[in-house]
Structure 1
Amino acid sequence: MQFKVLFLLILVASQVFSQDDGGVLKAVKKYQTEANEKFSNSETTILDSLDLISFKSLEFYPVDLKFNVKADFVRTPDENPFLMKTSTSRLPEYVKYGEAHFSIDDELLTLNLYKSTSEAESPEDEYLFLPFTDLTSGDGSYGGGRYVELDIPTSETIYINFNLAYNPYCAYSNRYSCPIPPKENDLLVRVEAGVKDYGHH
């Protein structure tokens, strides 16, 4: 039962939403509500049983539209697959799919976007994986970084909504194996958006 949730958060976070302010806000609220429902439901939660008893809600930064960034997408088709380090000895294979170039508070930033090399069950399940750390990591957000899931872009533009950033499962339980964001994806800005660190009670 525990692992049903693995794909649920990914599905929520990777849906294409309208990029007008109202659409973005609605998408974030929907994501937050559904995440809380999954965490509080014993059928779908990833929390350990003692944590589930005291669980009330995940904590999120206030929604901030400046963290829904429009980025230039650069495809990098000739990358070699590599094994991404995780919190355990598991080494899942990914390939760098492209780069997102954008700015936050006039800081020019670049993030690598990755794609799993394992076969998706259907084309709709294909997505880009964006693990990152920033200056809130360990100071408000989970020290091990956070993730965003993205639809594969069909143009040279990609929107990254950091308000949908979520924690690796390792933030909630040491039963999981979680990819560690590569050093190239360390942002030297505070991304005060998305889910905050989880305080064990």
Structure 2
Amino acid sequence: MADTTPRTPDAAPRTPDAVPRTPDTAPRTPDSPSAAAELERFRALRHAHVVGARGPLALVNTQWVDSPQPIWGVPGTWEPTPAGVSGLRVTAAASDGIVVDGDLVDGSVLVSGDDAITPSSVRFSDTVTGTVVANDDRTSWALRIWDAASPDIGRFGEIDAFPHDPAWVVTAEFVRSEEGAQVDIRHQADLELSRPKPLPGVIRVTLGGVDHELVAFPAGQGDRLQLVFSDGTTGDSTYSVGRFLFPTPSDDGTIVLDFNRAVLPPCAFSYAFNCPVPPPQNRLTVAVEAGEKTVLDTAGAPLHG
């Protein structure tokens, strides 16, 4: 049985971890009785996700592979693939018990990355699985180890959050950028690196009497955006790195920012993630007392220090 005790990786992960899964259940009317009920449903779905087999609490290691090497917590020797080939190659004996795409490995096989048409599935035991992820320019790959029985899942109590407040559902103006516009984003594990992201537009909004032009980048497919922000609660009553919000612009040039749906980044749940930090434009001074606060253990204390 593999040792899957969580640890802080020796080297910072080089792929950004930006988009946690968030239920798409935005309330229609922010001050309606159903809005608070829908928020509770949203939070129940969030809880179910974070404790899942591929939820953030299950991630116990992210290890980048630049040369043939063992991977902490799992068997086999892992090595890079030739240029232009997605993923990693693993060499193992049948006795190691590694199953890739349904077949027991006995020799050397390709483990396709998340950028492949069909990414590979990897199983090490009944609870431990793996996925291969690429960096931004698809030149390097890492193996991620997920443990559905990780100690952090056992210690997890709840995501502490503010109560629903309709005052924090704000309609803002979305101004589209010129084609090709970008914004530089940094990540908490390697702040010295700047990663350019597409900039679909800026969000003009007044919060706490202060005018802002917030920047957001695409959150996967479709028009949904990812807003990475900090505010007057950050590092005090809310997580120290910041929080995420996932709004979608409307065709009429408006965008609704429902801060009740602000969520914690994956790195709040596992040290094996490398999350974006708020760019200067998104560092608010007003205290946004809405959304998720921090991760608590079963005793009501912070899960990670």
Give TM-score scaled by structure 1 length.
0.80
Alignment-derived partner of residue 163 in structure 2: 62
Aligned mate of 1:35, from 46, 49, 66: 46
Q: Name which of 106, 120, 131 aligns with 2:209.
A: 106
Cα separation, 1, equivalents of 2:214 and 2:268:
22
Greater RCO (CA < 8 Å, at least 6 residues apart): 1
Contact 1:40–1:56 (CA<8 Å) still a contact in 2?
A: no
For the residues of structure 2 that align with 1:66 and 1:92, how far apart are their CA atoms?
A: 34
Q: 2: CA distance between counterparts of 1:69 and 1:138?
A: 23
Deviations 1:100-138 (A, max 9, x none): 22233434333222226xx73xx4xx4211000101110
Matched, 1:9 2:21: yes
Measure how far apart 1:92 and its partner are: 5.1
What pairs with 1:60-99 in structure 2 (closer than 5 Å)? Answer: 60-78=161-179, 80-89=181-190, 93-99=196-202
User: Is 1:18 aligned to 2:119, yes or no?
Assistant: no
Identity percentage of aligned residues:
25
Contact in 2 for aligned 1:96/1:114 (Cα 8 Å): yes
Q: Which residue of 1 aligns with 2:266?
A: 169
Provide Cα deviations, 1:32-83, integer angstroms capped at 9, x if missing partner: 1111122233x24311522211222111011111111111222222553345
Kindly indicate which of the two structures has a greater share of residues assigned to strand.
2
Distance 1:39 1:160 in 2: 23
Distance change (3 Å), C-alpha of 1:171 and 1:20: closer
**Residues 1:146 and 2:243 are matched in the alignment:** yes
Give 1 or 2 for the bigger CA radius of gyration: 2
How far has the Cα of 1:140 moved from its partner?
0.7
Shift of the 145–8 alpha-carbon distance from structure 1 to 2, 3 Å rule, reads closer
CA contact (8 A) 1:67 1:104 kept: no
Distance 1:16 1:59 in 2: 20
Specify every segment of 5 or more residues in structure 2 that has no aligned partner in the other structure, as ranges.
1-17, 59-149, 296-301
Q: Secondary structure at the match of 2:159?
A: coil
Q: How many corresponding residue pairs? A: 187
Contact 2:174–2:249 under 8 Å retained in 1: no
- Tell me the SS of whatever aligns to 1:56: strand
- Whether the 8 Å CA contact 2:30–2:166 is kept in 1: the answer is no
Shifted more, 143-152 versus 75-84: the winner is 75-84
Structure with greater helix percent? 1
Please say if residues 215 and 282 of structure 2, whose CA atoms lie closer than 8 Å, have aligned partners that are also in contact: yes
Partner of 1:3: none
Once residues 201 and 161 of structure 2 are traced to their aligned partners in structure 1, the CA distance between those partners, rounded to angstroms, is 28
C-alpha RMSD of the superposition: 2.5
Q: Residue 155 of structure 1 corresponds to which residue in structure 2? A: 252
8 A Cα contact 2:212 2:281, kept in partner = no
Distance in 2 of aligned mates of 1:105 and 1:81 = 27
Q: Which runs of 5+ in 1 are unaligned?
A: 1-5
- 1:185 is displaced (CA, Å) by 0.5
One-letter amino acid of the structure 1 residue matched with residue 264 of structure 2: N
TM-score by length of 2: 0.55
Q: Distance in 2 between matches of 1:37 and 1:78?
A: 38
